[in-house]
Amino acid sequence: MLWQEIHQNHAYEVDGVSPVYMNLFDRSVAEMERNYSIMEVGAGTGRNILYARQRTQNQGDFLATDVSSSAVDEMVAKGVEAFQADMRECPVESGRITHAISWRAIHHLPETGRSEAVDELRRVIRPGGQLIMAARSFNDWSFGIGTQTEKGSYVVLDQSELPPGMVFFPKTEYHAWHFFAPQELRSLLEKGGFDIQVLDAMSEQAGIPTWYKGENAYWVIKAEREKRELLWRGYSFNSSL
């Protein structure tokens, strides 16, 4: 598994939390009651969920998931309730979560997986709950570099596919990054049952490994889980969940 290999090798060691994430999270929790139940999917070693716990003065439930058991072990050592799980299969009951965080994670999934992840996020978030998300933008410096796997998705398989001076990190497994156009991301979330309140462009280095060179461009989203019943992709979601 790629992310297990990355975390075992400590190849994604970063310091600090994104100021953009902090701002979105602070705005989100200020809009809701203090009976928080906060979950981050694709949490890595937990810096964002730890900020959430600190910011809310540990008022509520805090849990996180990641596909890497090494990352989960690090979060548990920091006192985070964490589970090894894919963001398409969250180990919580429907409607439990008031705030879900998916920060720089969904662009690692293929097209069908991205739709499944949004459906799963809607399932676990209670009606009126909040989603905070960051996803790679097609304005990113690395858009179009490597081998195309789907429309808007690329994977670097060899040093020869990188621009001069860039470093290739050989791995035993590879997966593509997807680079969203804004209308694509908006459609994905709205069809999945979310009302988008913020969809902005972001470019920063905070919370990103130093070997990620160039302009790291993302879309940042704050969205609310719709309260109405939703019929989509063959599923029926009842707002009373």
Tens digits of residue pLDDT in 63-113: 999 999 989 999 999 999 999 999 999 999 999 999 999 999 999 999 999
**Cα dihedral 65/91/234/133 (nearest 10):** -30
pTM: 0.84
In the predicted model, residues of the chain with pLDDT beneath 70 are 1-15, 204-215, 229-241
* Domain region containing 114: 2-237
| Burial of 44: CB neighbours in 10 Å, binned 0-12, 13-18, 19+ | buried
Q: How many domains does the chain have?
A: 1
Helix 19-30 and helix 47-55, axial crossing angle in degrees, nearest 10: 40
CATH, residue 40: 3.40.50.150
